[in-house]
Amino acid sequence: MDLKSRFLINSLIGIIAGMIVGIIMWMLNSPDGHGNTNFALHMIMSGLHGLIPCGAMTVYEIESWGLTKSTVVHATITLATILCIELPMKWFSWGAEFAIAMVIYVVIYALIWLINYLYWKRTVNEMNDQLESIHKQEKE
């Protein structure tokens, strides 16, 4: 699958996930059905909040980039999305609440990165073992 198709699929998954989370957050934070912001605006921003980081996951598919470069670019895009959407929408306020949210963001990002790293490391090791086995069979 080419990068453009992968980007579109990731983005679509992200916008759907963002809107689902947006609906849940709206219901949790506004039991009377009236939140701090317009529902339509909230849903658009929730969708963008999912679309941008998920679409940006495509940077991990760029073969000429290393893991470090892909991680830095994706983390920067994700953090910029948080700063450009969550703060103006007043989903968080500056201060302790935002600091806690940033710590949670870093922990979750690090865990997801570590899980993916370990998965791909294991996959590469299995592929190398298979290649070694094929190479041994060819020698015999």
103 and 127 share a domain?
yes
Under 8 Å between Cβ of 74 and 57: yes
pLDDT per residue as tens digits for the range 110-127: 998 898 889 889 999 999
How far does Cα 34 stand from its chain's mean position? 29
**Domain total in the chain:** 2
Backbone φ, ψ for residue 47 (5° rounding)? -65, -45
| Residue range 25-31: mean pLDDT, rounded | 75
Mean pLDDT check: name the lowest of 68-72, 90-94, 123-127.
Answer: 90-94
Classify each residue of 85-123 as buried b or exposed e, where b means 16 or more C-beta atoms within 10 Å of its C-beta: bbeeeebbeeeeebeeeeeeeeeebeeeeeeeeeeeeee
Range of the domain at 110: 93-140
45 and 101 share a domain?
no
